[in-house]
Amino acid sequence: MQFKTIFLEYKWRFSLTLLLILSEAGLSIMFPLFIGKAVDDAIHQSYQGAIQLGILGLLALMIGMGRRVYDSRLYARIFERLGVDMTAKTQNSNDSVKTARLHMLGEIVEFFENTLPELINQIIALVGIIFILALLNIQIFAGGIITFFLVFVIYVLNGPKTTRFNSAYNDELEKQVEVVALNNTPKLSHHLRQLMRWNIKLSDLEALNFSLSWLVLIAFLVVSIVLAVQSGVTQYGALFALVMYVFQLIENIVMLPLYYQHWLRLAEITQRLEKVEVDAH
């Protein structure tokens, strides 16, 4: 698929959506600090921090809503353009393959519209939180780096298996329309059973990865809370902000490997769709 051509054609629109994503991510990093300040101000009978927190929330809402409204229209046009192009280049394929690959193309476009902004948000938040933790507590900062590395290793080691299961799933998916058209119940049952077999394998692998990662993250959370209490912070708001940043770091570490698995699936789909370009020539 001519993704590079599409990016060049819509480069200014992509630049605008990237700017909105970065703005949204930057504002999200500020929430724990503003919440902590609001708590400290409220303890001293001042509502200035709460007002500032409300303004931050409204600004984040306007930018986030505007980006989503804008993106839905941009990617709808891109999906239509790519879908027509791909279908024209697969005229020699059967309807089952065409339908399956159109569905896979939809997954790629959906990734750029919804998942990629979230991924950029997560990466910016992760970098920002780690930087802030380095300023607040160097021990928690070091623990966060170690934790991220351990979780990353867990998922990378199982990466080849994830790719293999996705490939087998997509192979079976490309047969679906053809099998349904046969009106043969045993063959349809076998097809669906095979489809779910690979889906279950992917789900079981994800459950294993998540469980191992969660054990590491829970240990980090418990140790971080102890270190935060022992750090000598006397203001409740500041202590609360520190713990919130730890929790946000854990949330980001949990999510990033899921994006990695999603990327592995899309990489397999992209190779499949690029084969269409080769076959067309």
Distances (CA, A) of 145 to 129, 246, 261: 11, 12, 21
What is the reported pLDDT for 278?
A: 46
What is the reported pLDDT for 167?
A: 83
- Where the chain has pLDDT below 70, the residues are 1-7, 82-84, 86-101, 177, 232-238, 272-281
What is the reported pLDDT for 150?
A: 92
Domains of the chain, earliest start first: 3-280 (1.20.1560.10)
Which three-class secondary structure state does DSSP give residue 158?
coil
Tens of pLDDT, residue by residue over 110-148, are 777 777 777 787 788 788 888 888 887 888 889 889 998
The secondary structure of residue 46, as a DSSP letter, is: -
Tens of pLDDT, residue by residue over 82-100, are 666 766 666 666 665 666 6
Q: For residue 51, how many other CB atoms are within 10 A of its CB?
A: 12
What is the reported pLDDT for 43?
A: 78
Its pTM stands at 0.61
